[in-house]
Structure 1
Amino acid sequence: MPLWLSTSPKSVCEAEQLELKVLPKVCELLSYVQDCDQLQRLNLLARLEV
C-alpha cells in the first residue's frame, strides 16, 4: 500500500496547506530565475551588437 494512502486525513490536509503556501513561492522563484535568464540573454545580445 502506498505511503500516502496510509497517512491520516489530517496529515494529508496539512500537506495540501503546505503546498498552497509553498507553491506560490516556488512559482515566484521560477519566474525570477526566468527573468534573470532573459536579462542575461539580452545583455549577451547587447554585447554582441556592440
Structure 2
Amino acid sequence: MNVLLIQELVGLALTLYISALKMQGKTEEEIRKMVDEEYDKSLKRNPDDLPDA
C-alpha cells in the first residue's frame, strides 16, 4: 500500500476519533492529555514487542 495513502487514512481515522470524543463531551485539554499519555506509552514500548510487518 502506498505510504501517502496510509498517512491519509491514519489522519482521517484520528480526525474521526477526535470528533467522536468531542461529541462525548471531552474538552480539547482532555483530548490532548489522552493523546500525550498514549504517545508517552508508545515511546516506552520495546520495538521487539511489535508485530512483524
Q: Structure 1-normalised TM-score?
A: 0.48
- Choose between structure 1 and 2 for higher RCO, CA contacts under 8 A separated by at least 6 residues: 2
Larger Rg: 1
More helix by share: 1
